[in-house]
Amino acid sequence: MKGITPAIRGTAVAVLLAVMAGCASLSSPPLDDRAIRLQAERTAEAAAALAAMERIDAVITIDSPLLGSAISDWLERVLPGELSAPARVHFHDQLIWFTAGEWNGEILLGFEDDAITWQADVRAPAGAVLEHGSGNRMAFDLAPLGILEAGARFSGAFEGVADRSLPLTAWPVMRAGALLVQPDNTRLALDLAFLAGVRRCEGAGAQEGLLLVYDFVDGNPTGVRRLDAGAAMAPPATRKGQQPWTGYFVDAGRECLVRVVREQPPRVVPATTGSVAFTDYEQAFGAATAGLVDPGHDDAPVSMVMARSALATALRTALVDQSIAVSLQPRGDGSSRFSAAMQAPSADELSCASSECTTQQQCTVSHENCPLLRDTRQCTVCSLRNPLNNRCLAEEQDTECLQARDRRNERMAQERQACIAVEEEARDACLVVRDQALLQCRTQRQQRLDQCQAAVERVAALRPSAPGGRVDMAIRPSGALDVRFSGFSVDASLQQLRMAVDVAGNLELAGEMAFTPSGDLAGALPCTARWKGDFTTFADLATWDGALVSPLEFEGGRLVARWSGLARPVPLSPSPIRALFRVQPGLLAGCQAGMNAAWVERALSGEQAGVFQGRHELVTQPLPTRVSLLPGWVTLMGETLVAEPVMGEASVRFDYVTGKD
């Protein structure tokens, strides 16, 4: 029922109180012996329940006449037949008795996780059976949690705001309780636990096989089971003996409560029945609930005082594993601008060194293209053969063959000499060209050295305090920052909140840079007036996390934590200066003064000079983290009472009086 518009107005309480006068009796009739025995039993039972409680997290105080009115209204709807007299409820010390014509009996109050219930133990007419029906409960919101809001503002080259909220839910688990019944009011002391992220299901039920069972044995959590399709809703096998068991069956997909199954132990009347005086129990109850009960603050018909430690437990439970993740995109309305001053540079850092002139050109003659070729043909012929077998008997040299061979060999020798002459001529021409190139290189080198030295002398002539001008830069980021808020936790007294902030991302920074040299520097180095252009650099934010702690303050129904800012170094690679000169290397070379990008970086000064040099900071300013508490509510007799939380030093109080639109 969180977030609903309450049904009653400012006059609703007055109407309810008017009804009370007719339905609940403040002047109760005397008790008979049977009722006195019941009163003693209930006092002993309540004393035993109080003594067994490990702690008391909250106390609910209900105006007894108001509760009696609700019970009377229910009785008149469920009692059969027409009553000869209206139903009336009488509150005695630790005993609630009702009469309704010929009907009478005891009203037994019980606990559910989010409600007080009642049933009638009919004593007359004898043997009568009563169908209890519905409407016998008074529902409470014992975990009035709202939403968690967290975020951060980033400044620097990457500016923006990341914030988000998420609902907080926790289901209250009634571990134990004790009642104090008095004629004027009824008090309930509660020992609570909470299930994280669980709410009551709305709409269709869970699918078979998708239920998780959260077991509580004897009021203590014992674990979580998966309920297979068709399995019985039985206690866990680890339970010993007849320990009371409660099972919370949660839809695993929707994370909502489908049903609660309770196995109540049989009522056992303590052996000390009758030995505990009501006044003693009343004093014990008061001592146990000290700090959560203020007898002088019972003006509201219904109130609840919850220990801050219990609210902290509910909040810690709801915050378990909660995180808020935001991907922050760069803003589209412009860029971040930076400027730095240029100081008069020092000539001591300039160097006019120049490499020696060398040549790789080779001017040699290898004669590989002019081979010495020879005609080696054979000129021998047979002058006499044996007629019987055609064998040569005598040989002689062919004169014509010999003359042809000699003429060819002479021609090939002449061709080789001509080839060698061509190669030697090419070599001589190569040597001339090489010597000319070396001479030109040495001349130009000397000119560069002279020009560089002149530039160095002009720089050296500048006054040391002379301004060098300024440089301006605009950076437009692209990419995304992934921001995650997690690790939320509060201390037991709701005094502090812890939170972790994780930031990661890869950013590309496109920029424009322009130098505006002073008159002195422009005169010494005219090239500096041409130093301008576009560049691109990168910022790599490796995952970074920071744990924060802040005091909690209660403001307007919200717990608020305010944080200090965090500055994280973010290197830019390459630095914007180096990125500019890397894209346009001629900007530096044109100065002819032997300078480099590092020399320019060292000449910058001012608060923002580090950005130009590649040293940047991402400033993270967490926004106030807020945990809202919703108005608490109570439903009774078809009406809804609401109460704004009022935070005290040790508790938070809800006085359920009027509704609000």
Write down the pLDDT at residue 13: 43
User: Under a CB-based contact definition with an 8 Å cutoff, are residues 617 and 156 in contact?
Assistant: yes
Looking at residue 24, its amino acid is A
DSSP letters for 139-195: EE-S--EEEEEEEEEEESSS-EEEEEEEE--EEEEEEEEEEEE-SSEEEEEEEEEEE
Domain-embedded: residue 420: no
540 and 568 both lie in a single domain: yes
- Would you say the pTM of this structure is higher than 0.75? no
Number of C-beta neighbours around residue 422 at 10 A: 12
Looking at residue 164, its amino acid is R
516 and 637 both lie in a single domain: no
Phi/psi class of residue 93: alpha, beta or left (left: φ > 0; alpha: ψ in -120 to 50)?
beta
538 and 636 both lie in a single domain: no
48 and 138 both lie in a single domain: yes
177 and 219 both lie in a single domain: yes
Specify the DSSP class assigned to residue 528: G
Domain total in the chain: 2
Three-state DSSP class for 473? strand
Residue with tokens 């009553």: 83
Write down the pLDDT at residue 339: 93
Domain-embedded: residue 22: no
User: Under a CB-based contact definition with an 8 Å cutoff, are residues 547 and 577 in contact?
Assistant: no
Domain-embedded: residue 457: no
Domain-embedded: residue 290: yes
Strand (E) or helix (H) holding 398? none
Dihedral of the alpha carbons of 525, 529, 530, 534, in degrees to the nearest 10:
130
271 and 175 both lie in a single domain: yes
Domain-embedded: residue 23: no
Residue 145 predicted with pLDDT over 80: yes
Long-range contacts of 241-244 (CB under 8 A, 24+ apart): 243/217, 243/218, 244/217, 244/218, 244/219
564 and 651 both lie in a single domain: no
Write down the pLDDT at residue 334: 61
Which residues, at least 6 apart from 627, have a Cβ–Cβ distance to it below 8 Å?
Answer: 145, 146, 147, 148, 149, 168, 315, 497, 558, 559
533 and 643 both lie in a single domain: no
CA gap 227, 205 in Å, rounded: 15
Phi, psi of 275 (to 5 degrees): -95, -5
Residue count (the chain)? 661
Strand (E) or helix (H) holding 116? strand 115-124
Write down the pLDDT at residue 580: 92
User: Under a CB-based contact definition with an 8 Å cutoff, are residues 481 and 158 in contact?
Assistant: yes
598 and 651 both lie in a single domain: no
User: Under a CB-based contact definition with an 8 Å cutoff, are residues 585 and 549 in contact?
Assistant: no
Three-state DSSP class for 90? strand
581 and 640 both lie in a single domain: no
Task: For residue 478, give both structure tokens.
Answer: 């692209």
Provide the residue range defining the domain that includes 284: 33-233+241-321+631-656
Residue 656 β-bridge partners:
302
Residue with tokens 């601008």: 337
User: Under a CB-based contact definition with an 8 Å cutoff, are residues 169 and 197 in contact?
Assistant: yes
For 577-619, write each residue's pLDDT tens digit.
999 989 888 888 777 766 778 888 888 888 889 999 988 888 8
**What pLDDT band is residue 283 in, cutting at 50, 70 and 90?**
very high
Domain-embedded: residue 362: no
Residue 210 predicted with pLDDT over 80: no
67 and 216 both lie in a single domain: yes
Domain-embedded: residue 66: yes
Write down the pLDDT at residue 233: 76
Domain-embedded: residue 661: no
247 and 329 both lie in a single domain: no
For 177-204, write each residue's pLDDT tens digit.
999 999 999 999 999 988 887 877 776 5
Residue 1 predicted with pLDDT over 50: no
For 323-354, write each residue's pLDDT tens digit.
888 887 766 556 788 999 987 666 666 666 66
